[in-house]
């Protein structure tokens, strides 16, 4: 096969996963005149993914509409669409509306692309490589030949806490995936729900329970009991001119000093242009210390709530409907149609107990591919085609998003995009970051790297 710059020529790409990341990768390949693409999705609908297909009207974007264009070279694209499709909506748009935007963008691209973009429904369960390309094996026995494969699985379901795994709870008592079912089904106002985790997914579930009319008690339990902060007014302060220090302690000191000058929101926001470069420049030990000591505080300050959502959560807490606790789950036992839970408050020795009607796992997306139950990722890992990153929070890739195999070699025929690449890029879970990654990969595959403006 012909080579370009020492790399294999790629005329056809199979993209596995048609959520936001995979769909946007296909869209960018078409826009840049890149290789033909086959977009594979096992769910009923392509384009939306879990974040936008399982949303309730009360679920709002966590980023202002002005920064939610799917196209990095057209920053007002979403705003223009919003003005036409939903006049009157501004600020933080509902996620179901953003899902509609993605649907239309993908549909328009398919209509324009002709045979350059094909959508295939079904589950990819394996990828095999030979000297000339790749073969994607589907669950129905069909195969799809391609020159390269892009993995875009999105956020994987959370790991199951060991205490819950040991308990073998009935399905009605435990929701392992908060998006797989209606978590409010069968609940009464005298019931209590325990949510494992206090991050953004917990907020979504609490809002959903409230919207479904559940008036019982909701308890969110996480290791530190931290809750995401709300957005405020955009800071007008002059931004940083150079990259802050990489070391965790020095970075913390710098952010604290800037917080006194411009407020904590501005101090955190001004790091965004530098975050990926800082992460790439940090040693594995520095990254590990950050994850161990600073990540929880980074998450609640960096990934914030729309003001309206923050107000609703505050109201639920004030009226006693929602309680956020810091501590560790120790034992779980099924008890006559309910669950008896023991937990240890943070910094304490003695345990406490509570009885709940249902547990919902919102502990955050899994990252360690050694533990995944996803058939495709499990097989690729077992075959040595992919490996976990050194921190075990995702799939190991290089700066070009090419996967690293068990022997440490980069594979230009197997790429991974989006949240599973957080071990390499860290800031790669939100639309503003993923749109740049998919843009850059599309340009490389289209041999358009020489064109100015990459990474806008």
pLDDT at 1: 40
Query: Is 414 found in the same domain as 283?
Result: no
User: For residue 224, how many other CB atoms are within 10 A of its CB?
Assistant: 12
Mean pLDDT, the chain, rounded, equals 90
Confidence of residue 136 (pLDDT cuts 50, 70, 90): very high
Q: Is residue 452 part of a domain?
A: no
Q: Do 147 and 260 lie in a common domain? A: no
Strand partners, 286: none
Looking up residue 180, the CATH number of its domain turns out to be: 3.50.50.60
CB environment 120-140: b (16+ within 10 A), e (fewer): beebbbbbebeeebbebbbee
| Mean pLDDT within 61-67 | 92
**More confident: 379 or 454:** 379
Tokens matching residue 269: 């926001």
Q: Is the pTM of this model over 0.85?
A: yes
Q: Where does the pLDDT of residue 235 fall: very low under 50, low under 70, confident under 90, or very high at 90 and above?
A: low
In the structure, what pLDDT confidence band is assigned to residue 46 with cuts at 50, 70 and 90? low
Q: How many C-beta neighbours within 10 Å does residue 244 have?
A: 18
Residue, of 397 and 297, whose pLDDT is higher: 397
What pLDDT is attached to residue 58? 80
Q: Is residue 238 domain-resident?
A: no
Give the CA distances from residue 420 to residues 188, 315, 364, 436, in Å, rounded to whole numbers and listed in that order: 37, 34, 13, 15
Domain that holds residue 298: 248-302
Residue 286: its pLDDT value, please?
A: 92
| Order of strands, sheet of 358-361, starting from the edge strand that comes earlier in the sequence | 174-175, 358-361, 192-196, 217-222, 322-335, 338-345, 352-356
| 42, part of any domain | yes
Per-residue pLDDT tens over the stretch 276-304: 999 999 999 999 999 988 888 889 998 89
Question: Which residue reads 């073998």 in tokens?
Answer: 168
**Do 143 and 124 belong together in one domain?**
yes
User: At 365, phi and psi to the nearest 5?
Assistant: -65, 145
Domains: count for the chain? 3
User: Which distant-in-sequence residues (6+ apart) come within 8 Å of 52 by Cβ?
Assistant: 20, 95, 96, 98, 99, 102
Retrieve residue 347's tokens: 């910094």
Q: Is the pLDDT of residue 451 over 50?
A: no
My answer on whether 311 and 196 are in the same domain is yes
The pLDDT assigned to 293 comes to 86
Task: Return the C-alpha torsion angle 419, 422, 425, 430, nearest 10.
Answer: 40
* Backbone angles phi and psi of 312, in degrees to 5: -65, -45
- The predicted-structure confidence for 81-98, as pLDDT tens digits, reads as follows 999 999 989 899 999 999
- pLDDT of 55 reads 64
- pLDDT-based confidence at residue 264 (cuts at 50, 70, 90): confident
């Amino acid at each position: 096969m012909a080579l370009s710059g020492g790399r294999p020529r790629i005329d056809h790409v199979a993209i596995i996963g048609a959520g936001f990341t995979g769909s946007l990768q296909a869209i960018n390949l078409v826009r840049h005149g890149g290789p033909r693409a086959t977009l594979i999705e096992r769910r009923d609908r392509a384009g939306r993914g879990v974040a936008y297909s399982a949303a309730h009207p009360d679920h709002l974007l966590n980023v202002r509409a002005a920064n939610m264009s799917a196209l990095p070279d057209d920053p007002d694209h979403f705003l223009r669409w919003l003005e036409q499709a939903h006049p009157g909506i501004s600020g933080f748009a509902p996620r179901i509306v953003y899902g509609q935007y993605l649907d239309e963008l993908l549909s328009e691209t398919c209509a324009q692309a002709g045979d350059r973009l094909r959508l295939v429904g079904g589950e990819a369960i394996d990828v095999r490589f030979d000297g000339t390309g790749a073969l994607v094996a589907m669950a129905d026995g069909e195969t799809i030949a391609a020159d390269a494969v892009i993995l875009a699985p999105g956020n994987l379901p959370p790991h199951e806490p060991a205490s819950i795994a040991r308990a073998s709870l009935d399905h009605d008592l435990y929701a392992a995936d908060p998006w797989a079912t209606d978590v409010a089904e069968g609940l009464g106002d005298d019931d209590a729900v325990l949510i494992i985790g206090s991050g953004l997914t917990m907020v979504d579930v609490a809002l959903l329970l409230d919207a479904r009319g559940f008036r019982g008690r909701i308890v969110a339990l996480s290791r530190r009991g931290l809750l995401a902060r709300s957005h405020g007014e955009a800071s007008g302060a002059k931004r940083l001119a150079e990259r802050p220090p990489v070391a965790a302690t020095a970075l913390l000191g710098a952010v604290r000093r800037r917080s006194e000058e411009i407020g904590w929101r501005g101090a955190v926001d001004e790091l965004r242009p530098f975050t990926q470069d800082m992460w790439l420049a940090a040693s594995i030990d520095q990254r590990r210390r950050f994850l161990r000591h600073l990540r929880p505080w980074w998450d609640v300050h960096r990934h914030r709530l729309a003001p309206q959502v923050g107000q609703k959560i505050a109201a639920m807490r004030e009226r006693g409907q929602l309680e956020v606790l810091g501590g560790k789950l120790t034992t779980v036992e099924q008890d006559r149609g309910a669950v008896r839970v023991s937990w240890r408050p943070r910094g304490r020795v003695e345990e406490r107990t509570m009885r709940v009607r249902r547990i919902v796992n919102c502990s955050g997306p899994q990252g360690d591919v050694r533990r995944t139950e996803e058939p495709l990722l499990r097989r690729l890992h077992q075959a040595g085609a992919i490996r976990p990153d050194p921190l075990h929070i995702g799939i190991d890739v290089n700066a070009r998003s090419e996967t690293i195999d068990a022997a440490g070699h980069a594979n230009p025929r197997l790429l991974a995009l989006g949240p599973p690449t957080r071990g390499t890029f860290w800031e790669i879970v939100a639309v503003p970051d993923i749109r740049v990654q998919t843009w850059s990969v599309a340009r490389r595959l289209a041999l358009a790297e020489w064109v100015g403006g990459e990474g806008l």
